[in-house]
Structure 1
Amino acid sequence: MGMNGFGPGTTTEEVLDGVDLTGRTALVTGVTGGLGGETARALAACGAAVILAARDGDAAAGVAARIRAQVPRADLSFVALDLADLSAVRGAVERIGSRPIDLLINNAGVMYTPFARTADGFELQFGTNHLGHFLLTTALAANLRSAAHRSGDPARVVTVSSDAHRAHAVDLADPAFAHRPYDKFVAYAQSKAANVLMTVELQNRSGGDGIRAFAVHPGVCATGLSRHMSRDDFAEMKRMSAGKPGLLSNLESIPEAAATSVWAATAPALGSAGGAYLADCGIDRAAEHATDPATATSLWTLSEQLVAL
């Protein structure tokens, strides 16, 4: 348990007890997955206006209906967002317009996918998990700054990473697997390391502009994210998590797994901890390859070049 009494079993309800987000706007990506849907519900229950971002409008409407059943006064809107298509990301940003955004929750992701490319030719996991969110975050910088200016509190950018980031560093020379054989585990780990590096550099660049950035390990829970996984994949995941016995048998519930995201988005105690890597509703340490300042700057520069195609 951390100093706040929170830990691995903490739920979204416990984290948000007494939190009032009236007048704040949150954008949550990947709301049609379990974690994103629960994150959106929890923030809406505290009074935030929540923009539900997802590829599938019908599925998002279903999520909105489920949230309204539990939070009748929920203020929800929808924006179509396909992170694997940079022109679609730009379209979503255009539709959001100049609306101030207090909380940006970069939650969407794909995991252990067979080799595929995004609309722009990037490897799917790096393109979706990192580059799509990188473009979304940088394109919404003015929205985040105006929200911070309006409320007097820093806007927060919470990017869902994973402890899988520890397994492999980002290959800055070949992020798209043009020259090395594709390995879905390496690709996923690389994309999650990129999430942490983006957080470090975003804080470095925008901390003075009223933006706080956090990366989150949500814990291991059974969501639709594992739909591409075979029995061999689970065995490989088990091997990679050998240092954490019981990791795969002690799966967290979705409200427990989403708790760190909403804690990152709302905890007053984190006001001075921008750039941190969080797990189990506490501050954790990410791998050195994912927090090295020079690597973070290099990845940011590379990402700017890649998304400006």
Structure 2
Amino acid sequence: MGVNDFGPETTASDVLDGVDLAGRTALVTGVTSGLGGETARALAAAGATVILAARDETAAAAVAERIRGEIPDAAPTTVALDLADLSSIRDAAERLGTRPVDLQINNAGVMYTPFARTADGFELQFGTNHLGHFLLTTLLLPNLQAAADRSGTASRVVAVSSDAHRAHAVDLADPNFLNRPYDKFVAYAQSKSANVLATDELRNRYDSKGIHAFAVHPGVCATGLSRHMSRDDFAEMKRMSAGKPGLLTDLKSIPQAAATSVWAATAPELAARSGAYLADCRIDRAAEHAVDPETAAALWELSEAFVGR
């Protein structure tokens, strides 16, 4: 299947058909359910050595066992990672040491949660979806650089964002809802805008050093990500998607929803398109507020201050 044949129904296995990732190491966050587990399985099936990162390392070990059962030559490893706790992120990076990482898929996330704060006081969705992955990525920059230097091929960081980012920009003055009323939909959208902005600034700062970055919209599918949603929340989603018929009924399967992540991580035709926003295994266009260079730089600096980098 050629790249021009890829689309909404393409699966992760379709993308990696005939792709050889032997000798490459992939780190995937949020592997214990939904897209993360399928992303890790597909990469392992293509020959990658996969590091499974999750808050529950016992559950991650069960995913590793399933992968080994399906792919006898696979050798997945696990690392405990709670993206809502900066100390856990630092511990995970320390456990990885100097191990080269060719592909980093920042897949884990939370959606439409009731108001809560992370262990370090950040609003839960912004803290988990953006700041947690921001700290992990910046801590692993030497690992990504080492992989690029070793292979002669740019390493890649893939942020799983969402088209929900189009609804709201990041409020740089109050991203943690200290002075404005909490709205779970606004909070989720700004966290996904932050994913796109951080991708663009990562490209700006590290593209020339052999670290490429992509943000992806996986599509709408039924996963545990919706576990916090009430009936009223689903009604609000239906209202917000009124201009997109079928958005909440024509759902992707998990293998289909994982396809764009693995395409972003492996497609050779994207080598010159670092920073791109991708959907349905194709290059898409993010909202203007999520690709503004000044906002991206300001968010990066604010994030560094928040996480102590």
Give yes or no for TM over 0.5: yes
TM normalised by structure 1 equals: 0.98
- Displacement after TM superposition at 1:52 (Å): 0.3
In 2, Cα distance between equivalents of 1:152 and 1:62:
34
In 2, Cα distance between equivalents of 1:213 and 1:241:
28
Question: Which shows bigger deviation, 110-119 or 236-245?
Answer: 236-245
Q: Any stretches of 5+ residues in structure 1 without a counterpart? A: none
- Displacement after TM superposition at 1:2 (Å): 9.6
- Displacement after TM superposition at 1:41 (Å): 0.2
Instruction: Provide the residue aligned with 2:238 in structure 1.
Output: 238
Deviation string, structure 1 residues 218-272 (Cα, Å, up to 9, x no partner): 0000000000011111111122222221011001000000000000000000000
Equivalent position amino acid for 1:217 in 2: H
Deviation string, structure 1 residues 126-176 (Cα, Å, up to 9, x no partner): 000000000000110000011001001100000000000000000000000
1:25 corresponds to 2:39: no
Equivalent position amino acid for 2:202 in 1: L
In 2, Cα distance between equivalents of 1:20 and 1:77:
19
- Displacement after TM superposition at 1:3 (Å): 5.8
Instruction: Provide the residue aligned with 2:65 in structure 1.
Output: 65
Question: Which shows bigger deviation, 239-248 or 125-134?
Answer: 239-248
Instruction: Provide the residue aligned with 1:181 in structure 2.
Output: 181
Instruction: Provide the residue aligned with 2:206 in structure 1.
Output: 206
Equivalent position amino acid for 1:169 in 2: A
1:276 corresponds to 2:276: yes
Cα RMSD (Å): 1.2
Correspondences of 1:255-294 after superposition (within 5 Å): 255-294=255-294
In 2, Cα distance between equivalents of 1:234 and 1:2:
37
Correspondences of 1:65-214 after superposition (within 5 Å): 65-214=65-214
SS in 1 for 2:76: strand
Instruction: Provide the residue aligned with 2:228 in structure 1.
Output: 228
In 2, Cα distance between equivalents of 1:44 and 1:230:
36
SS in 1 for 2:79: strand
SS in 2 for 1:159: strand
Q: Any stretches of 5+ residues in structure 2 without a counterpart? A: none
SS in 1 for 2:5: coil
- Displacement after TM superposition at 1:19 (Å): 0.5
- Displacement after TM superposition at 1:191 (Å): 0.3
CA contact (8 A) 1:2 1:282 kept: no
SS in 1 for 2:150: helix
- Displacement after TM superposition at 1:58 (Å): 1.6
Runs (4+) of structure 1 moved beyond 6 Å? Answer: none
State the identity %.
77
